[in-house]
Chain A
Amino acid sequence: MNSKKLLLAEDDALLASLLDYRLKKDGYQVTICSDGKKVKEYLEENRPDVIITDIMMPYFSGLELTDYVRNQLKLKIPIIVLSSAGNEENVLSAFKLGANEFLSKPISPAELILRLQKELAHQN
């Protein structure tokens, strides 16, 4: 069983709940933050192993969060970005800021798990 700490930054409660259920089922310790402010507060005190973040969030967008984690906190933890607007500009921005993966909505939970596992394996 996994015991990795995972931060899920998603403002859509239904999707967050669904992913939370699915990830917990795989043994991850999931923390859900519904906006960027809460994410920032969480990161000041905790260090998750993986961050899954949506781009469109209140206070802090997923891209700003990626920039914050990479350039201010200087963390090298895997970041998986989710977005319903999977246009080229968003994808390129995410990868330029240091995101490890980019998934466009609608997402397949099974695919997300696989990518997550791959990133964690790569980190180890």
Chain B
Amino acid sequence: MNPQILNTYFLITAPKIHTSILWDLTLLFTILATVYFFFVFYFRNRHQKIMVSRTALKKQLAPMVSEFLFYHEKEGTKDEKSSYINQKIAIRELIKDKKNRAILADILLDLKKDVSGDTRKRLFQLYKDLNLDLESFLKLKSWRWQRISQGMFELTQMQVLEAYVFISRFINDKRSVIRKQAEISIVTLTPEGISYFLDTTTYQISQWQQLKIIEVLAGFDNFQPPRFSNWLTSKNKHVVLFALRLIKHYDQNDTEQAIIALVRHKNDHIKQEAISCIKKFHFKASRSTLKSVFWKSSNAIKLVILDAIASFENEDDILFLEEVDKVDINFLVKSKALSAINTIKPGYVMPTEGLEEINLEASKELYMVDEINDEDLVVEATISDHQDSTPDLSPDYNMKDTFKDSEENFDEYQKNKALHNILESHEIRSNLTDKTEEKPKYEFINSSYYTEIEFFKKEHTKVSEFLDIKKEPDLGLKDYRALDFSAYHDIKQTQTGLNDNDLLSKTIDHESISTALSSDHQSIFKSLFEVSDDYCKLLLLDEILEVGNSKELSFLNTLHNHHNFEIRKKAVLIKAKLLEKIQEKEAPEQAFDDKKRVQTLKEQTIDYEQEQADNYRKYDRDENITEESLSANKELKSLDLCFVLEDEEVSSLETKPFSVFDIDFDVDFSEDLSSIHHFETNGKENVLEAENGLTKEEHSFFHHLLHFPSKLENKLNG
């Protein structure tokens, strides 16, 4: 057969369906729908009828119940007594029916929610008198969980204490609904039920259940809670957890050691709850345990531990928290660590991210100018006061010299005047308040400061150039001085109305004006320092030692809190050396006291060395520290140590051996070494002894001998 014909045949022919079947199906579904609706209506009506009959029965029984509740045998009249007896008989007849018993039990349970006091007690008694509790006991024997649960609920609500023993059997029932109802019932029936429950239960106690039980316990009058620490050793971890919560709830803080021990528990919930208890009860003895547990804990526990540590507010924990900030990789934990630090010591960690760059020094200057304006100080008086109080300032900055310079270079002064005018239109100036604009004399001091900053930035970025200027003042430095002079000039002109000639006849100490700046701003290195990178900063610190004076001391003090450890360390070292240098110039009678200060600083330096060694170990773990910076640190370490030891003229003794020569010398001068080392730890007197042991020539000889290998090495290295 042709396939084309076949296809056509199948397409045009539809399958035959018997229409009689469709009618049959329609009829079938109609019948099913009718039956379904019939059953719905039937059961709905039946339910309604039952409800109506129950309501009617309740209405019938409610007055009877009320009469039973409020009947007083002594107060009642004869009619009331007879009515009461009749009611009693009637109700006895009614409760013979099972349905009526159920309705009566419902009535009593409903009323129990609405009444209190004596009426409630009578209600409980009535429940027992009518033997309704027997019905509830029978429910306990049912195999259906909802009936057992209902029976336990009724017995509990009606305070049937006899049911305690029967209900306690269901504490470890495998069906959770029955078990939970049994737990609530046991705890509700007697205050001792909580102890039995915690002793017996082997199942999990849900948080909701815990809350319900705590609520039940709170409902007891004069409840004396047992010592919940007894259950901290339970084999059921849920019992331990619940016991911890109960300890916290009832403030039972007499189990410090047990709670601290639970911080080491493997279960995170127990651990967390124990830490929560520790925090609440302020168990400071747990600090070491918390820290030791910290690194092995999950992030959630870490946060709780940090929270607890913060609550102790012990400054000794800051180091640990800083380590957490450095080592931990989780953002939340790091943030929490910083937050904890600030909780312990407010303001210890300052915000650094996302801040706009502004010139804080300029702002400080402006603020200072405002303060001066407010106080309406007489400048001359201030100058004389500061002359008395600032003896250490360098004579190079004497205003007399400045004055002479500006007299000789009046053209430069005029140039700076013009520069001042330009600076008046500077952005910072626009931020000045009207108050400062009224008194431009102080703004000019500020402008001169800005000139200084610009000057260093643009023309003397290299340290060597700057140092040349310092030694041989050229135009740039004169600019600076002239501006200072012009500041004074403007002040005087505004205040007294004197002309330039009058001013020229006066001698003013520049140092006094400079004291108007804060002490750390007086250092010429400060502005350079702030625009340099870390490596340049280290170089600058070396230069401070070379050319710096007492003005640099305050600036070096500010570096003690520098974020870079190397700079921090080096600042201390340089400060010590600078102090020594200054003291050499001063009177010999002061030398001894100052030596002590130097000595203290050196000891600090040695402490820093130790701290650095510790930090190196930490940095090894720190991913953020690059290998380059690490190697730089190591180089610096040896150099700095050399500096210290060089001062004591034993430079090669303490340093690490660089070559074979160093090792030999170490052996030869072991005695000296030990005595010097002893000095570093014990004080100044020992080193004096060590020094006194040698003549000057011997000392010099050994010094050169000690330095010979390193010098030779340097020469070889070019």
Residue on A with the closest CB to B118?
A: A110
Q: Is A96 in the interface zone, CB < 8 Å from B?
A: no
Max chain A Cβ within 10 angstroms of own Cβ: one of B55, B62, B110: B62
**B117 near A110: Cβ-Cβ < 8 Å:** yes
What is the CB-to-nearest-CB distance from B305 to chain A, in angstroms, rounded to a whole number? Answer: 38
**A106 near B62: Cβ-Cβ < 8 Å:** no
Distance, CA A108 to CA B117, complexed state (A): 6
Distance, CA A17 to CA B67, complexed state (A): 10
Max chain B Cβ within 10 angstroms of own Cβ: one of A14, A17, A109: A14
Q: Is B581 in the interface zone, CB < 8 Å from A?
A: no
Q: Is A111 in the interface zone, CB < 8 Å from B?
A: yes
Residue on A with the closest CB to B112?
A: A106
**B66 near A108: Cβ-Cβ < 8 Å:** no
What is the CB-to-nearest-CB distance from B120 to chain A, in angstroms, rounded to a whole number? Answer: 7
Given A108-B118, A111-B117: A25 touches B70 (CB 8 Å cut-off): yes
Chain A count of residues within 8 A CB distance of the other chain: 17
| Residues of chain B contacted by A14 (CB below 8 angstroms) | 58, 62, 107, 110-111, 114
| Residues of chain A contacted by B69 (CB below 8 angstroms) | 18
| Residues of chain A contacted by B112 (CB below 8 angstroms) | 106
Residue on B with the closest CB to A106?
A: B116
Give the contacting residue for A109; candidates B55, B58, B110, B115; CB below 8 A: B115
| Residues of chain B contacted by A107 (CB below 8 angstroms) | 114-116
| Residues of chain A contacted by B63 (CB below 8 angstroms) | 17, 21
Q: Is B119 in the interface zone, CB < 8 Å from A?
A: yes
Identify which of residues 78-132 in chain B touch chain A, using a CB-to-CB cut-off of 8 Å: 107, 110-120
Q: Is A12 in the interface zone, CB < 8 Å from B?
A: yes
0/1 string, A9-50, CB within 8 A of B gives 1: 000111101101110010000000000000000000000000
Identify which of residues 56-81 in chain B touch chain A, using a CB-to-CB cut-off of 8 Å: 58-59, 62-63, 65-67, 69-70
Identify which of residues 89-124 in chain A touch chain B, using a CB-to-CB cut-off of 8 Å: 105-111
Distance, CA A105 to CA B114, complexed state (A): 6
Given A13-B59, A14-B107: A105 touches B66 (CB 8 Å cut-off): no
Residue on A with the closest CB to B66?
A: A21
Residue on B with the closest CB to A111?
A: B117
Distance, CA A110 to CA B114, complexed state (A): 13
Given A22-B66, A22-B70: A17 touches B59 (CB 8 Å cut-off): yes
Distance, CA A18 to CA B69, complexed state (A): 9
Identify which of residues 606-664 in chain B touch chain A, using a CB-to-CB cut-off of 8 Å: none
Distance, CA A20 to CA B69, complexed state (A): 13
Residue on B with the closest CB to A109?
A: B119
Distance, CA A15 to CA B110, complexed state (A): 9
Max chain A Cβ within 10 angstroms of own Cβ: one of B63, B66, B118: B66
Identify which of residues 108-159 in chain B touch chain A, using a CB-to-CB cut-off of 8 Å: 110-120
Size category, B interface: 20 to 34
**B116 near A108: Cβ-Cβ < 8 Å:** yes
Distance, CA A15 to CA B120, complexed state (A): 13
| Residues of chain A contacted by B62 (CB below 8 angstroms) | 13-14, 17-18
What is the CB-to-nearest-CB distance from B78 to chain A, in angstroms, rounded to a whole number? Answer: 16
Distance, CA A59 to CA B94, complexed state (A): 36
Distance, CA A15 to CA B115, complexed state (A): 8
Give the contacting residue for A15; candidates B59, B114, B116; CB below 8 A: B114
Distance, CA A25 to CA B77, complexed state (A): 12
Given A14-B58, A18-B62: A105 touches B67 (CB 8 Å cut-off): no
What is the CB-to-nearest-CB distance from A57 to chain B, in angstroms, rounded to a whole number? Answer: 15
Distance, CA A105 to CA B119, complexed state (A): 13
Residue on B with the closest CB to A15?
A: B114
**A21 near B114: Cβ-Cβ < 8 Å:** no
What is the CB-to-nearest-CB distance from B146 to chain A, in angstroms, rounded to a whole number? Answer: 24
Max chain B Cβ within 10 angstroms of own Cβ: one of A15, A25, A106, A111: A106
| Residues of chain A contacted by B110 (CB below 8 angstroms) | 12, 14
| Residues of chain B contacted by A17 (CB below 8 angstroms) | 59, 62-63, 66
| Residues of chain B contacted by A106 (CB below 8 angstroms) | 112-116, 120
Residue on A with the closest CB to B116?
A: A106
Give the contacting residue for A13; candidates B58, B116, B118, B120; CB below 8 A: B58
| Residues of chain A contacted by B59 (CB below 8 angstroms) | 13, 17
What is the CB-to-nearest-CB distance from B360 to chain A, in angstroms, rounded to a whole number? Answer: 52
| Residues of chain A contacted by B107 (CB below 8 angstroms) | 14
**A108 near B115: Cβ-Cβ < 8 Å:** yes
Residue on A with the closest CB to B65?
A: A18
0/1 string, A55-96, CB within 8 A of B gives 1: 000000000000000000000000000000000000000000
**B113 near A18: Cβ-Cβ < 8 Å:** no
| Residues of chain A contacted by B116 (CB below 8 angstroms) | 106-108
Distance, CA A14 to CA B108, complexed state (A): 9
Distance, CA A17 to CA B118, complexed state (A): 18
Residue on A with the closest CB to B106?
A: A14
**B114 near A12: Cβ-Cβ < 8 Å:** yes
Identify which of residues 243-301 in chain B touch chain A, using a CB-to-CB cut-off of 8 Å: none
| Residues of chain A contacted by B67 (CB below 8 angstroms) | 21
What is the CB-to-nearest-CB distance from A55 to chain B, in angstroms, rounded to a whole number? Answer: 14
9 nearest CB pairs, A to B? A108-B117, A21-B66, A106-B116, A17-B62, A15-B114, A18-B66, A108-B116, A106-B115, A14-B110
Known: A13-B58, A15-B111, A109-B119. 11 other contacts (CB 8 A): A12-B110, A14-B114, A17-B59, A18-B62, A18-B111, A21-B66, A106-B115, A108-B118, A109-B117, A110-B117, A110-B119
List 13 A-B residue pairs with CB atoms under 8 Å apart, sorted by A's residue number: A13-B55, A13-B58, A13-B62, A14-B111, A14-B114, A15-B115, A17-B59, A18-B65, A18-B115, A22-B66, A105-B114, A106-B112, A109-B119
Question: Which residues on A are within 8 Å of B, measured CB to CB?
Answer: 12-15, 17-18, 20-22, 25, 105-111
